[in-house]
């Protein structure tokens, strides 16, 4: 099992560890609910060093990225970042990703830990004809996500660079606790905050400085409940090789005016089902539970949990397109019984 550079720190804090994407990762330090609420109320930090980082460099880096991703990379100025996706040849998704423009002809792509190998082979397979170099730099980066309404202000105390005036999706280099880091005002919790890319042998200093500044260490459990409340998809659940992104609330990512890999296949596929948010009257939806209407199965839950903020069951589900309207009354089958569910707009928590 692989470990991140903060593995000993997690064990020292008494974290419960679980295997995730081949890494031994903390699922919680104290409790998922308290870590979740720390991020919603003050500031929390996540070790997400297991995620993958690829460098894309060269005269045709932009042309290559335009072809292999769905969002419009030509809109990205140096020092800016965007959410995007990697389409496959049949109109589904290889992964969802973040693209950071770090120089005129240099980009950093952050990919899901579970997809590093798959993405790498996929991108390598499409590189022919482009004057571009790809580097898998996953082992050269540690990554901390510092999230919450007090996250930026707390990081600011550890840096001489102005962090408070930066906009969402800005990315730049700065020293944090004396260590050079790439910062990006991004995250996966629905809160303000930064993601901090560091050298693996320097991340412990920053982790310690943030712990000393009372930032709550948070595990993958809270990361999942936070992203669900924020309505963010997770690859392997809401998004798969089969997913048509046009049938999800992330359809905005697909820039149909440009050419991209698999475009014809994607544009030709109808939305039989759409991805929606559901809230439940009682009980907790879990992945795979059927969504029903008038005793007929009309969809399935892709992720679900108990929302610590709303204090009720929330989930995301693919449901038949004609029923995927905000306000629609449906049911979720939980252990053979049905409970009332309502289609709602996401994010669940603003």
Partner 1 sequence: MDYPETLRYSKSHEWARQDGDMIAVGITDYAQDQLGDVVFVELPSVGKTVAAGNSIAVVESVKTASDIYAPVAGEVVEVNAALADKPELLNSSPFEDGWMFKIRPSQPGELDTLMSAAAYRQFVESQ
Using the contact rule CB under 8 A, the part of the chain among 25-33, 167-175, 236-244, 270-278 near partner 1 is 25-33
Residues 273/299, Cβ–Cβ less than 8 Å:
yes
In 3D space, the residue among 98, 139, 5, 91 whose CA is nearest the CA of residue 268 turns out to be 91
Q: Which is nearer to partner 1, 295 or 311 (CB)?
A: 311
Q: Which is nearer to partner 1, 179 or 223 (CB)?
A: 223
Taking CA atoms, 51 is separated from 14, 143, 169, in Å, by: 22, 8, 18
* Binding of residue 295 to partner 1 (CB under 8 A): no
Residue from 3, 13, 21, 27 touching partner 1 (CB under 8 A): that is: 27
Using the contact rule CB under 8 A, the part of the chain among 50-58, 239-247, 279-287, 321-329 near partner 1 is 279-287
Using the contact rule CB under 8 A, the part of the chain among 98-106, 126-134, 177-185, 283-291 near partner 1 is 283-291
Rounded to a whole number of angstroms, the distance between the first and last alpha carbons of the chain is: 37
Residue from 31, 74, 90, 329 touching partner 1 (CB under 8 A): that is: 31
CB of 305 to partner 1, least distance (A): 6
Residues facing residue 133 across a β-bridge: 57
Residues 206/177, Cβ–Cβ less than 8 Å:
yes
CB of 288 to partner 1, least distance (A): 11
Q: Which is nearer to partner 1, 277 or 313 (CB)?
A: 313
Q: Which is nearer to partner 1, 3 or 33 (CB)?
A: 33
The site that binds partner 1 (CB under 8 A) totals a number of residues, namely 16
Residue from 6, 25, 32, 155 touching partner 1 (CB under 8 A): that is: 32
Residues facing residue 279 across a β-bridge: 314, 342
Buried b (16+ CB within 10 A) or exposed e, 59-73: ebbbbbbbbbbbbbb
CB of 31 to partner 1, least distance (A): 5
Taking CA atoms, 326 is separated from 272, 273, 277, in Å, by: 17, 14, 9
CB of 300 to partner 1, least distance (A): 16
Letters for 196-225 (x = contact with partner 1 by CB under 8 A, - = none) are -------------------------x---x
In 3D space, the residue among 77, 184, 201 whose CA is nearest the CA of residue 139 turns out to be 201
**What are 348's two structure tokens?**
């669940």
- Please list every residue from 298 through 337 that binds partner 1, using CB under 8 A: 305-306, 308, 313, 335
Burial class (CB within 10 angstroms; exposed 0-12, middle 13-18, buried 19+) of 287: middle
Residues facing residue 78 across a β-bridge: none
Residues near partner 1 (CB under 8 A) are 16, 27-28, 31-33, 221, 225, 283-284, 286, 305-306, 308, 313, 335
């Amino acid at each position: 099992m692989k470990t991140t550079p903060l593995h000993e720190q997690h064990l020292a804090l008494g974290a419960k560890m679980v295997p995730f994407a081949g890494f031994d990762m903390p699922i919680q330090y104290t409790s998922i609910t308290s870590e979740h609420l720390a991020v919603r109320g003050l500031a929390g930090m996540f070790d997400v060093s297991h995620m993958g980082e690829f460098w894309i460099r060269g005269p045709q880096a932009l042309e290559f990225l335009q072809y292999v991703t769905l969002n419009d990379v030509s809109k990205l100025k140096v020092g800016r970042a965007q959410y995007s996706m990697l389409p496959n040849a049949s109109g589904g998704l290889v992964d969802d990703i973040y693209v950071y423009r770090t120089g005129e002809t240099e980009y950093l792509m952050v990919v899901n830990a579970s997809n590093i190998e798959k993405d790498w082979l996929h991108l390598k397979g499409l590189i022919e004809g482009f004057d571009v170099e790809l580097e898998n730099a996953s082992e050269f980066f540690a990554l901390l996500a510092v999230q919450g309404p007090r996250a930026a202000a707390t990081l600011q105390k550890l840096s001489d660079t102005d962090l408070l005036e930066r906009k969402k999706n800005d990315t730049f280099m700065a020293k944090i606790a004396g260590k050079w880091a790439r910062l990006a005002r991004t995250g996966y919790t629905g809160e303000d905050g930064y993601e901090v890319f560091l050298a693996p042998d320097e991340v412990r200093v920053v982790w310690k400085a943030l712990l000393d500044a009372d930032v709550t260490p948070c595990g993958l459990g809270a990361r999942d409940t936070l992203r669900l409340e924020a309505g963010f998809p997770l690859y392997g659940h809401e998004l798969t090789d089969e997913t048509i992104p046009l049938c999800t609330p992330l359809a905005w990512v697909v820039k149909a005016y440009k050419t991209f890999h698999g475009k014809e296949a994607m544009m030709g596929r109808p939305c039989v089902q759409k991805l929606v948010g559901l809230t439940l009257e009682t009980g907790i939806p879990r992945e795979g539970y059927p969504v029903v209407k008038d005793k007929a199965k009309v969809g399935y839950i892709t992720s679900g949990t108990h929302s610590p903020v709303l204090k009720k069951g929330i989930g995301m589900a693919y449901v038949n397109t004609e029923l995927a309207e905000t306000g629609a009354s449906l049911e979720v089958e939980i252990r053979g019984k049905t409970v009332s569910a309502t289609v709602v707009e996401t994010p669940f928590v603003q």
